[in-house]
């Protein structure tokens, strides 16, 4: 029965690969902004507490774009295998891995959960002492080495604890979540980052209540996941803000009730417009899903004094600081950041997957394109041009 299961997802027999180096195809980023090169690489077997995964699907998130473009100096580790949204099946596990086994359907998570540190044991955070997301780390946590190399033996760096633009990847088991084998892996790919981040920001970070008003800045997959979750929570007004009006069509289907294109707001500041649209007071919650300081400032000023809450989801690569006078916080507006929507990945993602399968969160609208692995550079282009939400790459 097991062998049939493996074959159905294209796993080679254990004697071919387990404990051995695998030669497979990967999309390697050699330098900032240059097209990824699909080439044969070597992937080492998983070490203690690590897992090697055969990736079946991966997609591209804005964070991959930023790293590929080398937006942040300290992130420039090349050659590198990018990618962090994916799904796949375990090919083999390293010593002492007890909660995962060959054949398990899994989703990688860029911010891990070891389950044992003070952070993992606390219900106040989803950060982990050892495996929390670190965009500047490009090697394995356990030994500071890479598990990828070129055919000539040159090391290839890792990305965000995951590196999914490859047929096989090695991760710490703390960054691998087992998903019910009945769940469609294709859609589960979205839970690796974007959708979980947006949904969790609403459910866990803001705890949006029924009847409340919401403004979402940036209507990519992350912002639209916020919309989908806010709609599910019964928000009465969901204002979507984006400079690309094409996003408005999709946004409507995902619960957005009002749209603003900032380019068309000329006579007043954006936050004044939003306050006007909410009876003068401002929204109860605003979500920044762009990664732009000016946008963040508008998002902050758009909320209602006394109780307004701004949640930061966008990644701000710029070293410029956020302009906020401390006295402004006496007006009762709060601001908070969220990583992975405050979900503890290993323990809570299976529940979110279940909620998605039951229809509590609709994942269908997020996959706007699908392409074979060879066309991964076209998928980057679609995101750069604002044409896709998520382009699913089939490996």
The contact set with Zn ion (CB under 5 A) reads 61, 63, 114, 117, 120, 128, 193
Which C-beta is closer to ligand APR: that of 148 or that of 217? 217
List 62, 147, 233, 275, catalytic entry: 62
Distances (CA, A) of 26 to 168, 354, 370: 8, 31, 18
Pairing of strands 50-59, 258-260: unpaired
- 79 preceded by cis ω (within 30°)? yes
**Using CA of residue 129, residue 111, residue 358, residue 229, what is the dihedral sign?**
positive
Which C-beta is closer to Zn ion: that of 193 or that of 376? 193
| Least distance in angstroms from the C-beta of 286 to Zn ion | 20
Q: Which of 57, 110, 165, 217 binds ligand APR (CB under 6 A)?
A: 217
Residues in contact with ligand APR, shown as a per-residue x/- string from 246 to 275 under the rule CB under 6 A: -x--------------x-------------
Known catalytic residue: 84? Answer: yes
Which C-beta is closer to ligand APR: that of 11 or that of 352? 352
- Residue-by-residue DSSP string for 61-79: -HHHHHHHTT-SGGG--SS
- Residue-by-residue DSSP string for 121-168: H-TT----TTTS--TT--S-TTTS--SEEETT--EEB--TTT--SBSE
Q: CA 310, CA 296: separation in Å to the nearest integer?
A: 9
Known catalytic residue: 390? Answer: yes
Residue 218 binds to ligand APR (criterion: CB under 6 A): yes
Q: Which stretch binds ligand APR (CB under 6 A): 57-65, 107-115, 117-125, 331-339?
A: 57-65
| Least distance in angstroms from the C-beta of 25 to Zn ion | 23
Residue 128 interacts with, from ligand APR, Zn ion, none (CB under 5-8 Å by kind): Zn ion
Which C-beta is closer to ligand APR: that of 105 or that of 132? 132
Residue 172 binds to ligand APR (criterion: CB under 6 A): no
Q: CA 14, CA 28: separation in Å to the nearest integer?
A: 27
Q: CA 66, CA 77: separation in Å to the nearest integer?
A: 13
Residues in contact with ligand APR, shown as a per-residue x/- string from 315 to 344 under the rule CB under 6 A: x-----------------------------
Known catalytic residue: 62? Answer: yes
Q: CA 51, CA 90: separation in Å to the nearest integer?
A: 7
Short-list 96, 26, 82, 95, CA closest to 54: 26
List 117, 328, 354, 381, catalytic entry: 117
Cβ atoms of 155 and 81 within 8 Å: the answer is no
Cβ atoms of 186 and 115 within 8 Å: the answer is no
Catalytic residues, by residue number, are 61-63, 84-85, 114, 117, 120, 128, 132, 193, 390
Residues engaged in binding ligand APR (CB under 6 A): 61-63, 194, 197, 217-223, 241-244, 247, 262, 289-292, 295, 313-315, 383, 386
């Amino acid at each position: 029965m097991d062998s049939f299961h493996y074959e159905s997802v294209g796993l080679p027999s254990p004697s071919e690969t387990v404990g051995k180096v695998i030669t497979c195809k990967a999309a390697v980023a050699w330098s900032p902004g240059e097209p990824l090169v699909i080439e044969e690489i070597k992937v080492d077997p998983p070490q203690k507490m690590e897992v090697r995964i055969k990736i079946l699907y991966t997609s591209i998130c804005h964070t991959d774009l930023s790293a590929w473009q080398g937006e942040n100096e300290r992130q420039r580790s090349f050659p590198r295998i990018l990618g962090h949204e994916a799904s796949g099946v375990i090919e083999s596990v390293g010593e002492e891995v007890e909660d995962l086994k060959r054949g398990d359907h899994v989703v990688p998570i860029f911010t891990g959960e070891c389950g044992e540190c003070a952070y993992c044991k606390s219900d106040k955070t989803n950060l982990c002492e050892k495996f929390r997301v670190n965009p500047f780390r490009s090697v394995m946590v356990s030994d500071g080495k890479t598990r990828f190399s070129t055919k000539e033996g040159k090391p290839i760096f890792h990305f965000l604890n995951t590196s999914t633009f490859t047929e096989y990847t090695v991760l710490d088991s703390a960054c691998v979540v087992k998903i019910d084998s009945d769940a469609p892996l294709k859609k589960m790919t979205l839970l690796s980052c974007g959708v979980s981040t947006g949904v969790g920001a609403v459910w866990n970070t803001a705890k949006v209540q029924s009847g409340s008003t919401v403004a979402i800045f940036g209507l990519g997959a992350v912002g639209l996941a916020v919309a989908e979750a806010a709609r599910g929570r019964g928000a009465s007004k969901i204002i979507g803000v984006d400079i690309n009006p094409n996003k408005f069509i999709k946004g409507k289907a995902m619960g957005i009730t009002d749209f603003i294109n900032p380019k068309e707001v000329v006579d007043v500041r954006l936050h004044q417009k939003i306050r006007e649209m909410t009876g003068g007071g401002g929204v109860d919650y605003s979500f920044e899903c762009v990664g732009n300081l000016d946008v963040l400032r508008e998002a902050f000023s758009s909320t209602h004094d006394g109780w307004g809450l701004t949640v930061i989801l966008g990644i701000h690569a710029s070293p410029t600081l956020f302009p906020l006078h401390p006295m402004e916080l006496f007006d009762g507006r709060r601001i908070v950041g969220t990583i992975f929507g405050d979900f503890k990945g290993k323990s809570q993602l299976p529940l979110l997957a279940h909620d998605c399968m039951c229809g509590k969160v609709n994942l269908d609208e997020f996959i706007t394109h699908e392409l074979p692995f060879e066309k991964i550079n076209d998928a980057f282009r679609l995101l750069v041009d604002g044409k896709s939400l998520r382009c699913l790459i089939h490996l």
